[in-house]
């Protein structure tokens, strides 16, 4: 495209040198790219400078606050939140430009095409995985939560057809490292919202997660990848409730 797309892209980073270049390459024709970096110790910031001079460094404040900070820096009326392991396709780009131009909506839900160990997961509750990522800055904000943060908009939100590409968990080691962090945040969320969980939650909740992903959401059709995901998510559920109970002992 000969001219830049008038939409701000908000990205948060912390040691993302493996992912960030491809994410930024996918949005290089947007006219405002904001990176809020949590003092990376690898080449993340160096790589980002090849794409934008709008790089800000802040101590880690949590996912929701960090993303809201990036949104606050946006110059344009419309903002898209992008994770370092996500990619914007040309088809999605064209669709969002067209839909924004038509007007009438405060935000847009985008389907995510999630990959696990290199495979697109079509079931297991992982597709289409709609998430609200594009919104008017004056009409939306990132809801304050410890984990699974989301954008809330004041006004109508439509659903786009073309997906974001999400390269999550390239290896099992990636999953285990993220699980350790997310399960701790999830345990804090459980205690704040529900108080002390029951001992039965260590058995019932993981089993329910496995059955929902593998059976009800047809994860068995995703082959060995679907089985591994169901087991891993069940284990993560056990760990987060175990951590919540540990804090009550």
Q: What is the pLDDT of residues 164-176, one digit of tens each?
A: 999 999 999 999 9
Mean pLDDT taken over the chain: 96
SS3 string, 70-111, reads: HHHCCCCCEEEECCCCEEECHHHHHHHHHHHHHCCCCEEEEC
Classify strands 164-167 and 119-120 as parallel, antiparallel or unpaired: unpaired
Cut 0.85: pTM above it: yes
User: Who's near 144: CB < 8 A, 6+ residues apart?
Assistant: 64, 65, 68
pLDDT (tens digit per residue) in 28-76:
999 999 999 999 999 999 999 999 999 999 999 999 999 999 999 999 9
Q: Report the alpha-carbon distance of residue 61 to residue 77 in Å, rounded.
A: 24
Residues paired with residue 151 on neighbouring β-strands, in sequence order: 142
Please report the pLDDT score of residue 1 as a whole number: 45
Please, what is the angle between helix 223-246 and helix 201-211, to 10°?
160
> What are the beta bridge partners of residue 37?
13, 57
pLDDT given for residue 2 in this prediction: 52
CATH class belonging to 5-167:
alpha beta
What pLDDT was estimated at residue 3?
76
Give pLDDT < 50 ranges for the chain. Answer: 1
What angle, rounded to 10 degrees, do the helices at 223-246 and 172-194 form?
40
What residue ranges do the domains of the chain occupy? 5-167, 172-246
């Amino acid at each position: 495209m000969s001219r830049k797309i008038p939409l701000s892209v908000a990205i948060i980073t912390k040691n993302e040198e493996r992912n960030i270049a491809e994410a930024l390459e996918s949005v290089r024709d947007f006219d405002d790219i904001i990176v809020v970096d949590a003092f990376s110790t690898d080449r993340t910031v160096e790589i980002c400078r090849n794409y934008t001079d709008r790089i800000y460094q802040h101590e880690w404040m949590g996912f929701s606050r960090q993303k809201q900070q990036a949104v606050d820096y946006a110059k344009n009326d419309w903002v898209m939140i992008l994770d370092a392991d996500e990619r914007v396709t040309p088809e999605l780009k064209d669709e969002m430009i067209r839909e924004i131009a038509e007007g009438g909506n405060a935000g847009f839900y985008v389907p995510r095409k999630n990959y696990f160990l290199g495979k697109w997961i079509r079931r297991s509750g992982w597709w289409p995985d709609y998430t609200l990522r594009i919104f008017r800055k004056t009409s939306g904000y990132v809801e304050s939560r410890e984990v699974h943060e989301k954008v809330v908009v004041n006004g109508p939100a439509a659903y786009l057809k073309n997906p974001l590409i999400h390269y999550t968990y390239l290896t099992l080691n990636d999953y285990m490292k993220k699980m350790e962090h997310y399960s701790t945040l999830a345990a804090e969320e459980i205690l704040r919202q529900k108080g002390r969980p029951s001992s039965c939650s260590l058995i019932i909740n993981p089993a329910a997660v496995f059955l929902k992903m593998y059976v009800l959401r047809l994860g068995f059709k995703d082959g060995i990848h679907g089985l591994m995901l169901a087991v891993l998510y069940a284990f993560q559920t056990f760990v987060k409730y175990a951590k919540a109970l540990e804090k009550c002992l």
